[in-house]
Every structure is written in C-alpha cells, then in structure tokens.
Structure 1
Amino acid sequence: MLKIIYMTTMLIPTILMLKPKMLHLTTTAYAFLLALISLSFLEPSSNTHLYLDFTSAPLFVLSYWLLPMTMMASQHAMTKEPMQRQRALLVTLTLLQLFISLTFSAYSLTLMYIMFEATLIPTLVLITRWGQQAERLTAGTYFMLYTLTTSMPLLTMILFLNNTSNTPTLFMQTAQQVSQWTELMLWLACLAAFLAKMPIYGLHLWLPKAHVEAPIAGSMVLAAILLKLGGYGIIRMMQTLPTTKTDMFLPFIVLALWGATLANLTCLQQTDLKSLIAYSSISHMGLVIAAITIQTQWSLSGAMALMIAHGFTSSALFCLANTTYERTKTRIMVLTRGFHNILPMVTTWWLLTNLMNIATPPSMNFTSELLIASSLFNWCPTTVIIFGLSMLITASYSLHMFLSTQMGTSPLNTHTTPTHSREHLLMTLHTIPLILISLKPELVL
C-alpha cells in the first residue's frame, strides 16, 4: 500500500526537475503507470496503518485513473503558460491526488479527517490561480466557507469519540453506548460535514460556482472524486457510530430525493454548459445520499456503483465542455451550436456520454440506478414517484444539452480547429471503463 503512496510523492520532485521539453510527456506517462499499478488494489489488501477494503478500493482506483486524464485535459491550456506555472499546476494536481489517496486508505477517523480537510488547499489553489473567470475568488471563498463551517462539528465529534475510547477511533470499532441525545448530536455533526461535501440540496451553492470558475483539471477532480469523499465519509461513519433507526434519516432522505428533482429542474433553465453539468452532479449525489441512508445491502451497492459511474460520466462531460470552450471561447450553449457539421466525432462522444448520463443499459449508471430504485421502492413504495419524475427530467435536460450544443447552425464565424487525438483518447479512457465495469460489476459493488 505504501509503495504507491511513495511513488505519488516522488512525482513532485520529478515534475520540478524535468527538462521543459519532456515535462508533459514524462509526467503523463508516470501518472498512467501509477493508474495501472493502482488496478492491483481492486483486490483489497490490508496492513496496520493504511488499508483498503471493498468500500474504498474502487474510489481509490478511480482517483488514480483520473490523474493522468486531468494532466492530458490541461495540456492545451497550459502550453500558453510560462514554464513555472505549468510545473506549479502539475505539482498541485499531484499533491491533491496524494491527499485523496491518503483519505481513502486511512485507517482511523483522525487521519481521514486531516486528509479530508487537506484536499481543500490544492483545490482552492486550482480554482483561484488557474480559474478562467473574474469571480474565481468568490467561488474559492464559497468553497472554503461551506466546507470549513460544516467540518468543525465533525472535528469535535472525532475528538469526543477518541476521548471516550482513549485511542484513535478505528473504522472497525463501534462507538461505545452513549445517551440518546449524544448519539443524535454525533450523527448530526457527522452528517453535516459530509452532506455539504456531496452536496445535498440546500448546502449546494458552492458547487456550481466552484465548477464554473475552476480550470478543466479542477472541474474533473471536483466532480469525479471530491464529491465522492462525502459519500465515502457517510459509509465509514455508519460503521463507527452507534447504530440508529432509519426513521432519524427520514428528513435527509426526503430532502435528498426532492432536492435531486429540484436540481434536475434547475438544469433545464441553465444557459451555461458547465453550470448545467454541475447541477446534474447535485441530482445524482441526491440519489447516492438517499441510498446510503437507507442502509441496506442493495442500496449501498447501488450507491457505490453510482459514485463510480458518475465519476466517469461527469468527468467526461466536463472534458467535452472544455473541448467546445477551447474552440469557441464561450460556455453559453446557444453560442456553441452546429458542432455536428464541423466535428462529427465529438458529436458522437456527446451522444454516448449523454446516454450514459440518462442511465441507458449496458452502462454502469443503469446498473446502479436500478439497484437504488429497487431498494428505495422496498423501503417506501411512494419514492418511486419522485424517482420516476427525476429520471424523466434527467432524460429531458440531457437531450436538451445534446441538441442545444450540437444541432442547428453555428452563430459564430470563427475558424474551428479539428479535434486532437489527445481529446479522443481522453474520451475513450472515460467511456471504456464504464462499459467494461458493467460486464463485471462485482469489482465495485
């Protein structure tokens, strides 16, 4: 386990010492090597300090799989920057990956909390230093305030648990019996931090801002991995905190499902492409929250599968949005019409990714949403109405996004450069795992 952590750490001095001509080639090759090595961890191994189990291993591998892709996606934008800034971006991405991998492989609550909070710093640097718009400082402030405010109760809770057990709380040990009110406070403190990170509807305002202002690498990491830290944290807490009845989670389940439908409706009125994809993430994470809080085997399997599937799908959508942005210099959907006449291969990728976002078989999204739908229906048959409505609106906004970015005639008379093989490789590496995992879903379930 420590081998891959050391290798990731050593990528930082490598980036700083490489010759400028070799920088992108070597770092991307190194990151691909790390991604291939990480695949061996899908068979979870354990040691006393860092360990992976069936919950953290798929997310750990997903984070390593996306590291080379974030580097590849940033290449075009980075070539115009001075060499120092190129190195700084690659170091920030590697540092973020290091903190994420340590969060997923943490053995105790304290280490997980420290690394969970440490991921804030590189993400904030990415948004504020490489963001594309004037409002990036506001987005960074929103991001910090929401995350730090809600994580303070989590820190208090972890200290309380450490004091009651006189040792750093491990995930496998259940907290000792406490009074009913203390138990309620522990649960609320824990849920606040992770629900804001997911984010649940109501604590979601930082997400569209952060996504819109972040560079492509920041958007990919945010959507694919950082949102999953919330879901992973809730699953871990359920192993540690005293078990409680599902009735306590009823407000959260209702808010998550209703919030997912409201986020989907918000998607229909978005004009900014990145903002639309960000709101679609909120709706998918709402389903994950509802599934995790039901606490049945099927719902947890569905939540894990949807987290992995959404990681690939939303990252692919951001890559496609970036491909359009690099050519038109705008993210307003009305101004990016008519691409299917100029770049038909990109239109094919758009169609494929949107179909996966709708959750059509045989993609992983379909498997996960089927598991979640059946577990929600078993828990309460009424939820099928909200779930069905949510699915209908998801299909509507996905088709609206596809038609409004590809069809019609382009209002811009700018010269469009053809697509690079780098962009096609990027999309292939997103879609192939999604289709292949659906053939062997026990890797992530």
Structure 2
Amino acid sequence: MLKIILPTIMLLPTALLSPAKFMWTNTTMYSLLIASISLHWLTPSYYPMKTLTLWTGMDQISTPLLVLSCWFLPLMIMASQGHLQHEPHERKRMFISTLIIIQPFIILAFSATELMLFYISFEATLIPTLILITRWGNQPERLSAGIYLLFYTLISSLPLLISILYLHTKTGTLHLSIIKLTHPYLPASWTSLLSSLALLMAFMVKAPLYGLHLWLPKAHVEAPIAGSMLLAALLLKLGGYGIMRVTLLMEPVSNFLHYPFLTLALWGALMTSSICLRQTDLKSLIAYSSVSHMGLVIAASMIQTQWSFSGAMILMISHGLTSSLLFWLANTNYERTHSRILILTRGLQPLLPLMSVWWLLANLTNMALPPTTNLMAELAIMVALFNWSSPTIILTGAATLLTASYTLYMLLSTQRGILPSHITTAPNSNTREHLLMALHIIPMLTLILKPELISGAPL
C-alpha cells in the first residue's frame, strides 16, 4: 500500500519544484508510472484481504476502484493541458497540486479498514474538489454550484458521523473486519432503523440517489474538464463503495429500508433518462446519464446478493471509464466551438472525422452494447433485480430503452446534421487527445476478456 501512497504524496513536491518547461511532462510521466505499478494489485490472491495493515487493506470490492483511481490521475493531468493553455504558470502549478492532493485521500477512502479513517478521507476529498470547481470553472454560476456541492455533502455527512460514533460506543471498535464478527448491537427498534438510515444517507447523496442529485448536474456543468472527470469517475464511486461497505454491516432489521431506496433508485434511472432526452446542454446531458447509471448501482447494492454486488462493481468501473470519456469528448467540442449547446455544435463529423469514431465508440459503450463490460454489468443487475422482484424488469427495461434513445440523440446531434454557419474552422485533433481517448477505451475493451478482475467476486 505504501509503495503507491508515498510516491503519490511525493508527486506534490515534483509538481511544485519542476521547472516550468518540464512540469507537465514530469507529473504526467510520474503519475503514469504509479498507475502502471498499481496494476499489480489486480493479481489474484488466496486471502480475502490483501496488503493488510492496521488501518488499510484491500479486498475484492476495493481493489478495482483503487486501480481506477490511480489510473485516472495521469489522464486528468493530460486532459487539463488545453484548458490551462493561457493561464499563468503559477495557476497551472496550483491546479496540478490540487489534483495531486485529492489522490491520497481517494486511495485512503477506498482502502481504509477503519470507519473513522474512511469518514475523514471521504470528507477530505470535498475541499480540493470545491477549489477545482470554484477557481477553475468556466461560468460565474460556479460559486452556486460549489455551495450546492458543499451543503448537500455536509448536511448528509453529519448523521453519518453521529452513527459511526454511536456504533463505536455499542461495539467498542470501528474496524470493519471485527465489526463483521460482532453480534448485532441493536435491538429491533426505531434506533436501529435511524442508525442504518444515517449510515446510508451520506453515500446516497454522493452516489447520487434520485431526489438528492441536484448538486451533480450543476457541479458537472461548472467544473473544468479534470473536475468533471474526477467527479464522474471517482467521487461518485465513493458513494457506491460506501453503500456496499455499510449494507454488509447492517442488521436484517434494515430490510425495510431497502424499499424506498430501491424504488427511488429505479424510478430515478427512468426519470433522469427521460430528462436526458430534452437537455440542450451537452455536459448536463452526460451528468444526468450518470445519475441514471448510478441508480442501477444503488438498486443492486441494496439487494446485497453476490450476483448484484458483482453487477454493481462492474458497472461502477465501466461507468467511470465511459462517462469520463464522454466528458472529455464534450470538452474537445467545447474547446473548438466555445459552446456546449447541442443546437449550436451539431454536424461536426465533416470537420473532425477521426473524432467521430471516438464519439461512436463512447456512445456504443454508454448504450451497453456487446462486447463491453457495461452490458455484462447491466445484465447482472437486471437478473438480480428480477430475481428479487419480477415487476422491476419493467422499470429496468424502460430505463435501458431510454438510455439507448438519449445516447443516439447525443451522437446524432453532435456529429450529424448541417454544420452551423458560425463554425467556419476548427483546429485538428491532436495526438494528446487521441492518446487520452485510447487510454479510456483500451481498458474498457480488454476488461471483457477477464471481467473477474473487476467483478468483486473471489478470484
């Protein structure tokens, strides 16, 4: 664990002390090196917990997410170069430092075996994200987006802290492996129900559950490209990961809790998919599609079967790669046309023919076409939900149909149609952009060859 965390922390002095000419090169190469070293975590192990120390450890649920978070740091640094082109050098240095500061907290959150350490690192990711959105966002509304993000997260995480402290007074420990071995600490009462609800609430906001999701489209639309990639690929996954971890600790009493959350998650998948069909803003459309996909993850996590956990795990990884790629593609369009409105940026295929191939690939993976892991994940979740209650197939089926509809709508409105008269010229796509897209697509297409690496199932 330390051989990843220490080099990640040492990235900070690298960014601060590198000469201006070599800063991007040094940080990108160094973080790519860390990302490639982190791949060894995926090697199969006989033990349920790998690299177990007093505070951190990895099992099948956290390993894929840890590798994903290491993989995304170099991608975020590479993606920001165009956005920060005309900024003064010191602001570039500050931007990269902010991205690097988030990374150890995310790694700690995914690998913590102790609930208080998990809570602290879970909350600590909020501050650098807030700085990214409010300092490097594009529009003046970024301040209100930051306030939304801050208050939604803080209001929901206070009950989480109280219930963690309450758990500690009852069981005497907060180590996950020991809590699993202890007897139920609460009688079947309203206290148990409230405690379970408080434990879940912070993660439901982070995931986000439909009804608690209003901060997400605002944050996505106002954030710079690295902020959008960070939110879509990693911070939403903290919510899904927290739900998985916490539901395993809950007593059977909390089964009553499943119904409102499952209903809201599935209904939300349907509603946000239909909201996507009438979006005019490209980034807002992709943000709402994230809520729809994470609704399936929440629904699967609440059932608590091995099959549904596997489906939720694969969907989290696949969605992280797919939505990040879609945000990056939206950003390449924005850098050329300076607009995110779909009507004003249509018909870009004749100008950027190679880019339209990436658009097609990204949209096909978003639609969960074979042979992508998205398909495998959605099938696993649908089967698990159908097994739990057969009427859910209507909701999940309708959500899948709507997903295909808005994805095709997004593809057609950006690539096809008549080029607007105000777009006379667009810079060609460059090697950095193509490399970044390849680094998103290649893991997606190769994981289908060995999906048990990310399925959360015992290897």
TM-score by length of 1: 0.98
In structure 2, the residue matched to 1:163 is 169
Q: Does 1:124 align with 2:134?
A: no
Q: Does 1:199 align with 2:205?
A: no
In structure 2, the residue matched to 1:324 is 333
Q: Does 1:82 align with 2:88?
A: yes
In structure 2, the residue matched to 1:422 is 432
In structure 1, the residue matched to 2:315 is 306
Q: Distance in 1 between matches of 2:5 and 2:319?
A: 25
In structure 1, the residue matched to 2:263 is 254
Task: Tell me how far 1:168 sits from its aligned partner.
Answer: 3.2
Letter of the aligned partner of 1:12 in structure 2? Answer: L
Compared CA separation, residues 100 and 6, structure 1 to 2 (3 A)? same
What stretches of structure 2 of length at least 5 have no aligned partner? 44-49
Q: Deviations over 1:395-437 (max 9, x none)?
A: 0000000000011122123420000110001111101101111
Task: Tell me how far 1:171 sits from its aligned partner.
Answer: 4.4
In structure 2, the residue matched to 1:380 is 389
Task: Tell me how far 1:172 sits from its aligned partner.
Answer: 4.5
Compared CA separation, residues 352 and 172, structure 1 to 2 (3 A)? farther
In structure 1, the residue matched to 2:19 is 19
For 1:178, which of 186, 189, 194 is the aligned residue? 186
In structure 1, the residue matched to 2:448 is 438
Letter of the aligned partner of 1:111 in structure 2? Answer: L
Letter of the aligned partner of 1:177 in structure 2? Answer: Y
In structure 2, the residue matched to 1:61 is 67
Task: Tell me how far 1:240 sits from its aligned partner.
Answer: 2.5
Q: Distance in 1 between matches of 2:108 and 2:385?
A: 32
Quick check: 1:246–1:294 contact (8 Å CA) kept in 2?
no
Q: Distance in 1 between matches of 2:146 and 2:295?
A: 23
In structure 1, the residue matched to 2:46 is none
What stretches of structure 1 of length at least 5 have no aligned partner? none
Compared CA separation, residues 172 and 280, structure 1 to 2 (3 A)? farther
Quick check: 2:196–2:254 contact (8 Å CA) kept in 1?
no
Secondary structure of residue in 2 paired with 1:293: helix
Secondary structure of residue in 2 paired with 1:199: coil
Q: Distance in 2 between matches of 1:167 and 1:276?
A: 43
In structure 1, the residue matched to 2:53 is 47
Quick check: 1:172–1:239 contact (8 Å CA) kept in 2?
no
Secondary structure of residue in 1 paired with 2:349: helix
Task: Tell me how far 1:105 sits from its aligned partner.
Answer: 1.1
Task: Tell me how far 1:245 sits from its aligned partner.
Answer: 5.6
In structure 2, the residue matched to 1:221 is 230
Q: Does 1:101 align with 2:116?
A: no
In structure 1, the residue matched to 2:32 is 32
Q: How many residues align?
A: 445
In structure 2, the residue matched to 1:293 is 302
Quick check: 2:372–2:445 contact (8 Å CA) kept in 1?
yes
Q: Distance in 2 between matches of 1:90 and 1:372?
A: 37
| C-alpha RMSD over aligned residues | 1.1
Task: Tell me how far 1:316 sits from its aligned partner.
Answer: 0.2
Quick check: 2:76–2:226 contact (8 Å CA) kept in 1?
yes
Q: Distance in 2 between matches of 1:29 and 1:3?
A: 17
Secondary structure of residue in 2 paired with 1:314: helix
Quick check: 2:337–2:423 contact (8 Å CA) kept in 1?
no
Letter of the aligned partner of 1:406 in structure 2? Answer: Q
In structure 2, the residue matched to 1:394 is 403
Q: Distance in 2 between matches of 1:346 and 1:437?
A: 23
Q: Distance in 2 between matches of 1:158 and 1:82?
A: 44
Q: Percentage identity across aligned positions? A: 55
